């Protein structure tokens, strides 16, 4: 097998302990011995067995991430930047996907915890808080990402979705739209809060939230385009039809725009669209999509930093990090200047 501390120790005529200490930069070791050991360690390309170290020290140097769908650009980007932060601090990342299924999610959480992760990040798809029994009573610090549970005393890193919904809707109002619809997301905090923001923006401008202009999206996020397409088809049957649509996310918006174009409408003249998430491709779509940017990369970094903090000091009280969304205006909501 691989080289072990014991081998190096014997070779160098010192004890295993001394090698271990040199490796970890302990203070009670002479400069000379340390160098001698480190030199040999480098030559042999030795790497400590992290399983053994984890078992002995109680620290695995691994963080667990449970997301509903890796393919979704939001989670992919989040995972990427989280990973970047962790790598710099010598933490590994163990990844699990729940496929938007609360049952799978619970299993995954259990197995990830059994692997002894030092912290757990979860974008949960539990609609009931109960799913979190078993995470709470672990010692392992955990952080909710993107999707919050207001009544759970836990750390959270995510977007101010209420403001996101409000900004999007206000933007449509400012563009002179009067009949603004919303294709909503699943009943988790982002969907709920964006919807609240949408409603609040309308109310603030003394408008009633129009009946029938609100499409509840029962499907999972994964089928974003299909849900958006179906939602828009429904909206197109309304009389009068909406002249602006705020969509739960960009995938939904893409599907919705597709339906509008197929119905012979012109975007944004007949109907304007705003999405959320500002995915990389928004700029290159048939009609470039206005969207709410969530600074996804930054969210990943924040979550990583917070995880590192919590691992250093487990007693720290839960923290909430909520980033402000930013509106990115493109052709789908504003007639391009000519």
Partner DNA sequence: ACAAGATACGGTATCGCTAACGTAGTTTGC
Partner DNA sequence: GCAAACTACGTTAGCGATACCGTATCTTGT
Contact positions toward DNA, by CB under 7 A? Answer: 1, 4-6, 14-18, 20, 23-24, 28-34, 48-49, 52-53, 55-57
Query: Closest by alpha carbon to 108, among 91, 124, 84, 93?
Result: 124
Nearer to a second copy, 30 or 138 (CB): 138
User: Whole-number minimum distance, CB 143 to a second copy, in Å?
Assistant: 18
Minimum gap (Å) between residue 77 Cβ and a second copy: 5
Question: How many angstroms separate the CA atoms of 203 and 329, rounded?
Answer: 23
Residue placing its CB nearer to DNA in the complex, 1 or 71: 1
Q: Which is nearer to a second copy, 33 or 258 (CB)?
A: 258
Measured from the CB atom, is 70 or 327 closer to a second copy?
Answer: 70
Residue 76 CA to residue 98 CA, distance in Å, equals 14
Could you tell me which of 216, 288, 279, 223 has the C-alpha nearest to residue 257?
A: 288
Angle ∠(178,180,182) on CA atoms, nearest 5: 175
Which parts of this chain interact with a second copy (CB under 8 A)? 1-2, 45, 47-52, 54-55, 60, 62, 69-71, 73, 76-77, 79-80, 83-84, 87, 90, 92-97, 99, 104, 108, 110-116, 134, 138-139, 225, 254, 257-258, 280-281, 284-286
Q: Measuring CA to CA, which residue among 333, 327, 326 is closest to residue 244?
A: 333
CB atoms within 10 A of CB 76: 15
Q: Which does residue 276 bind out of a second copy, DNA, none, counting CB within 5 to 8 angstroms by kind?
A: none
Nearer to DNA, 21 or 199 (CB): 21
Task: Detail the DSSP E strand segments found in 188-265.
Answer: 214-215, 244-247
Phi and psi torsions of 145, nearest 5°: -125, 145
- Taking the complex as a whole, the smallest distance from the CB of residue 41 to DNA amounts, in Å, to 10
């Amino acid at each position: 097998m691989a080289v072990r501390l014991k081998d190096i120790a014997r070779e160098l005529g010192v004890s295993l302990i001394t090698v271990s200490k040199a490796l970890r930069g302990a203070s009670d070791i002479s400069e000379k011995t340390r160098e001698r050991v480190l030199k040999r360690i480098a030559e042999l390309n030795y790497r400590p067995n992290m399983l053994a170290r984890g078992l002995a020290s109680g620290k695995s140097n691994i963080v667990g991430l449970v997301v509903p769908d890796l393919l979704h650009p939001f989670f992919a980007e989040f995972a990427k930047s989280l990973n970047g932060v962790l790598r710099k601090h010598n933490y590994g990342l163990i990844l699990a996907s729940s496929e938007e299924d609360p049952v799978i999610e619970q299993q995954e959480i259990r197995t990830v915890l059994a692997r002894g992760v030092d912290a757990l990040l979860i974008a949960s798809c539990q609609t009931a808080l109960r799913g979190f029994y078993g995470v709470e009573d672990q010692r392992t610090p955990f952080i909710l990402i993107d999707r919050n549970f207001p009544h759970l005393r836990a750390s959270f890193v995510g977007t101010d979705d209420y403001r996101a919904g409000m900004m999007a809707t206000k933007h449509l109002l400012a563009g002179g739209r009067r009949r603004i619809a919303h294709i909503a997301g699943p009943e988790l905090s982002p969907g709920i809060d964006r919807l609240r923001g949408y409603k609040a923006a309308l109310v603030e401008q003394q408008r009633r939230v129009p009946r029938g202009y609100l499409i509840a999206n029962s499907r999972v996020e994964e089928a974003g385009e299909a849900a958006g397409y179906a939602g828009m088809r429904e909206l197109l049957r309304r009389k009068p039809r909406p002249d602006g649509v705020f969509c739960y996310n960009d995938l939904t918006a893409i599907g919705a725009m597709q339906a509008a174009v197929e119905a012979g409408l012109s975007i944004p003249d007949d109907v304007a669209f705003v999405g959320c998430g500002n995915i990389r491709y928004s700029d290159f779509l048939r009609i470039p999509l206005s969207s709410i940017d969530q600074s996804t990369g930054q969210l990943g970094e924040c979550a990583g930093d917070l995880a590192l903090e919590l691992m250093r000091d487990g007693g720290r009280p839960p923290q909430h990090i909520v980033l402000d969304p930013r509106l990115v205006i493109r052709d789908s909501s504003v007639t391009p200047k000519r």
